[in-house]
Structure 1
Amino acid sequence: MEHRLLRRLKALTLLWRRRSRSGIPFVKSFTYKEINKATSGFGMILESGPQGTTYKARFPDGLVGAVKRVRSHQLQNDSFLKSVQLLGRLHHHHLVKLKGFSKGKERFLVFDYMENGRLKDYLHDPLKTPLNWRTRLQIAIDIAAALEYLQNFCEPPVYNVSISSNNIFLDENFVAKLSDVGFAGCELICNSESNIISEDTSEQRNRRLVFQFGMLLLELITGQSLLNEAEIVHWIQESEFAYSIHKMVDTDLGDQYDSKELGSLLVMARMCTKAENDTSISIRQILRFLQGQTEHSAFKCGKTKII
């Protein structure tokens, strides 16, 4: 009986190795044929743009994924595999999870499929049902939690992130997940190889992420695409901005928001976007502040806190 169990275990291990074909734990390697079939001959297009094309895919094992075609000029083959290895090690509830890849005839990345698409659409598409205030606050908390994980719980820390409504996806329960981590270039790969980040460099990167997060807060509050960063930053840094706060609130919210929470979030956005971010606020401090807002609201309303 024991020998039979051992043989069975070895067989399952070999099967897993064959299926993975990558040597990368928890990340499956797909063939071009498998990708082609799962996307119905690349017919199920989710989006197509300057960054490439993404397809919806249904695999025989039940996995529903979003398959992103990697342009040949973006990463060389060795760099591509190193990036896949790094992405495969990232596990957090608020990151879009890498499920697999293909490095055959063409290169693809397979991610979890997000049922409700991009945050950008819910803020700017008039055909979408507007997000309520509680959902917007929770999205800010979700993304701050993802950033805390990348900065404080990854070795080396991951700073190669773009924070925008275009890179934030919502699952079937409107839980926010950050995407495109580490693929804005080869910076992440270089960091993993050197494993050395100077204090000045890490501080600058933290400032950049904090600034981007402040801009995300403003986008969640105003519902506006903040193309003119200089103008919005100038407004929020003005001493008189408090008198025009309610004029900037997304009209889709009506009056269905907590004025004190709004004020607190705008103060936080102001700190994040302050010139040179000389307050040296950290992502961890931002997260604790936002969590404190929901805890206060839960206590005030007699409800379970939203986390």
Structure 2
Amino acid sequence: MLHSELLAQIPLFDTLAAEDLEALANRMTERKFQAGTRVFDKGDTGSSMYVVLSGAVQIFLPGAENEPRVVLKDARTGEYFGELSLFDDKPRSASVEATVDTTLLELTREEFGDHLSKSKNAAMTILAEMAERLRETNAMLSQRAARDVVKEFEENLTWGQRLADKVAELNGSWSFILFLLALTAAWSAANQWLPKPFDEYPYQFYNLALAILVALQGPLIVMSQNRQTMKDRATAETDFRVNLKNEVGIEGLLREVGALRAETTKRLEVLERMMRSDRLRAEIPAKKPGGPLGPS
């Protein structure tokens, strides 16, 4: 796969023109890493992004002493990481290690900035993409995150979907088992004791009815399970939004508490200096005007 095609798969660059993708691809450098080699460590200063050309890397949080690492993601061919380092020089938030012999494409901040300075269209496209991401984030943070998604999901179900859920709910109950047992016993007794049985042993009509029932139960249960999977996915997305808003709120509170602590410390230092000055003035007696008269 061409380097420009790999770049086109990255959301940050997928709206760039073909000539800009080709120019950025030519600025990328191939770097090879053997299995077990660290690409970078958590806390390192970031200055470039990487695209996996071949092989695989593991993105993880290193554990403390005698504690296992926390694996965040396994990136394979065509995937990327470290793209935020193109815009700031903050430390890396995780470590990356090659799990097999791997070739990465590296795009440095200097090369990226140099291309943007020469291509107005590329710069505007990147700014538009970043603005769209910021707008989506603001919209997500401004709206109410906690919602009863299961209730909303169930309110939009069709009658067929509701029927499938009811059938799946009934099939997984003792009521359905007892009903089948009672129906089987009644069917057998009726055909045994009636003068003119309507379905003699081996009860072919009853077996046909049971076969049709089983054939219908399978698709209905699978449909209900698929909807349950969709409900679980919607619930997980809502939990993610709630956790994200809570995290942003906590970070804001921490900043405010930090600012309050700094302001309080500053004022306490001023008060301490004032009290120290007052104490020194009280300990040193005031000098009276004039002095002893000398001999005349």
**TM-score bin (small chain):** under 0.3
Structure number with bigger Rg:
2
What TM-score does the superposition give when structure 1 sets the normalisation length? Answer: 0.22
The structure that is helix-richer by fraction is 2
